[in-house]
Amino acid sequence: MRLILFIFLYIILHNCYIYAQDKVTHAENLFAHIFKEYSKDSLRIKMLLDTANRISQTNPDTAIKIFRKALSLAQKNKYKKYQAGIETGIGIIYRSLGYRDSAVTHYIKAEQIFQELKHYEGMAVTYVNLANLYNEQEDWEKSTNYYKKAQIIFEKTQNKHGLGTVYLNIGSTYYNNKKWDSCEMYYLKSEQELKSFKEYANSQLVLANLSRLYLTTKKYQKAKSYAQKAIDFNPNNLKHVVSSSLTLAEVFLYENNLENAHYYAKNALDNAQKIKDTQVQPEAHLILSKVYHAKKEYDKAISHLNTVITLKDSLFKFTLKTQQENVLKKLDHLNYKIQITEATRKAAEQRKTILLQRIILLLCMAFLAITAMLLFLFYKRNQLIKQAYYSIELKNAVLEQQKQTIQELNHNLETMVSERTQKLEDRNKKLKEYADYNAHILRAPLARILGLFEVYKEAKSIEEKEQIFTYLHQTVNELDIIVKDIQHKLQDKNT
């Protein structure tokens, strides 16, 4: 079995070596064709740059080789502007391959040439490239410094487009560094500069970023306002629509507006699925889970939580696979560079010996890689078992919590009904007692008043009427005292 594996690896490595030689031959043939077709070095440089830029994503190694050939021609003819552009192009490729130190070296060379030419726009673009690179390394101080250098140049040249973009990048750097006040200040500056660029994607991005900032700092009304502005700015840019919809969903969830929270979370999830954005889908499912939990629809809430776990696991696997591919890409690039160097340095009669040495080394590496892969598979199996166990524990915990919640609700409901019934019975009893009391106490003066009115009608002399009116006045006063006494007693009972 091992022998078969070794033979298989030998065939693959041999084909890789042949492929590397083919790339060298292809580049050399390209140079010969361009030099034959074009007599002027300026046209040759232009064609080389067009070719390198076209294949920089698909074949970065050959692109670097072409860039270097163009650079040698530019240096020979002292074409400074071409030199700066080529250094920038090489820096961009090295950055994409993960060789940040090499990228910085070429960016700085480009900046020095632009400075010598007093080409301020080129200097600003180079500063932005350096800032973006340091941003990826989370070196916030260097990143901010380079962005502010670009800011100074764009302010002098009155480049609103570049200035707005730089303000946006500085705000994002402060956001990552959790400096909320500075972040808000630069985002608002970016909004002001970019508001005239209606078709520019960053004009919508700054609105979306402001909404997320205000959500993070719990300024919910501003978050809602800017999120809606971002959606209305360009409803067809689904990436920013998704981000803003999630912001609106979280704000409405905070306000306990469950219908709107559900609408925007569902809208964000649908759009994220359309653009296949797996980064935000778990967040949308999590908000939907919270909404259903608030609605006490626990089955749906658990379903969305399970989806979150599944998506997070898939995202982790995808990230791990991407990292592995990047490592393999770097190894392939390094291997290619070694092979190119060896192919040019060694004579044809030494190639077989070198190839044999490489095969032995790579076989050892392959053996170590297989061993590492087996260990990784064993580790991954254990991780999956742990994740499954954790998922079961989580579901059990949720079910237990739901059971306790239902029991507490039932107990509280019974207690509340019992207390309310007792209070109603006590109040009815008191009302009955006061009704009986009022009927007997109030009856006497009321009867006297009615009798005095009858006597008053029959009286003939003025003295009799005055005497009756005096008795009537005394009885009315007595009735007033009784009513006030009853009112005081009722107030005392209520308190």
- CA-based Rg of the chain, rounded to a whole angstrom? 42
The C-alpha atoms of residue 95 and residue 286 are separated, in whole angstroms, by 35
The number of beta carbons lying within 10 Å of the beta carbon of residue 433 is: 11
In a domain, 486, yes or no: yes
Q: Where are the beta strands (DSSP E) in 135-276?
A: none
What's the longest Cα–Cα distance across the chain?
A: 158
Inter-residue contact 445 to 481 (CB < 8 Å): no
In a domain, 427, yes or no: yes
**What is residue 9's predicted lDDT score, i.e. its pLDDT?**
46
Inter-residue contact 241 to 271 (CB < 8 Å): yes
The SS3 assignment for 159 reads: coil
The number of beta carbons lying within 10 Å of the beta carbon of residue 172 is: 21
The SS3 assignment for 495 reads: coil
Torsion sign over Cα 451, 456, 457, 459: positive
Burial class (CB within 10 angstroms; exposed 0-12, middle 13-18, buried 19+) of 347: exposed
In a domain, 322, yes or no: no
**What is residue 25's predicted lDDT score, i.e. its pLDDT?**
46
**What is residue 460's predicted lDDT score, i.e. its pLDDT?**
78
The C-alpha atoms of residue 228 and residue 254 are separated, in whole angstroms, by 17
Return the structure tokens found at 345. Answer: 């340095």
The C-alpha atoms of residue 282 and residue 268 are separated, in whole angstroms, by 11
In a domain, 157, yes or no: no
**What is residue 6's predicted lDDT score, i.e. its pLDDT?**
47
Among residues 212, 218, 216, which one has the least CA distance to residue 230?
212
Q: Angle formed by the axes of helices 2-37 and 41-55, to 10°?
A: 150
In a domain, 303, yes or no: no
**What is residue 130's predicted lDDT score, i.e. its pLDDT?**
92
The C-alpha atoms of residue 219 and residue 395 are separated, in whole angstroms, by 34
The C-alpha atoms of residue 355 and residue 495 are separated, in whole angstroms, by 101
Return the structure tokens found at 445. Answer: 């003066």
Return the structure tokens found at 76. Answer: 């020979």
The SS3 assignment for 114 reads: helix
pLDDT in tens for each of the 495 residues of the chain? 444 444 444 444 444 444 444 444 455 666 676 766 766 878 888 888 888 888 888 888 888 888 888 888 888 888 888 889 999 999 998 888 888 888 999 999 999 999 999 999 899 999 999 999 998 888 989 999 999 999 999 999 988 888 999 999 999 999 998 999 999 999 999 988 888 776 667 888 889 999 999 999 999 999 999 999 989 888 888 888 888 999 999 999 888 998 998 999 899 889 988 888 888 888 888 888 888 888 888 888 888 888 888 877 765 555 555 555 555 555 555 555 565 565 566 666 776 778 788 888 888 888 888 888 888 888 888 888 888 888 888 888 888 888 888 888 878 877 877 888 888 887 777 777 667 666 667 777 878 888 888 888 887 788 888 888 888 888 888 888 888 877 777 666 555
In a domain, 20, yes or no: no
pTM of the model: 0.56
Burial class (CB within 10 angstroms; exposed 0-12, middle 13-18, buried 19+) of 485: exposed
Domain encompassing residue 359: 346-494
Return the structure tokens found at 365. Answer: 């590496």
In a domain, 442, yes or no: yes
Q: How many CA atoms lie within 13 A of 225 on its CB side?
A: 5
**Number of DSSP helices (H) and strands (E) in the chain, helices first:** 17, 0
In a domain, 184, yes or no: no
Total domains in the fold of the chain: 1
**What is residue 11's predicted lDDT score, i.e. its pLDDT?**
45
The number of beta carbons lying within 10 Å of the beta carbon of residue 42 is: 13
Q: 3-state SS string over 75-110?
A: HHHCCHHHHHHHHHHHHHHHHHHCCHHHHHHHHHHH
The SS3 assignment for 406 reads: helix
Inter-residue contact 340 to 24 (CB < 8 Å): yes
pLDDT in tens, 129-156: 999 999 888 898 999 999 999 999 999 9
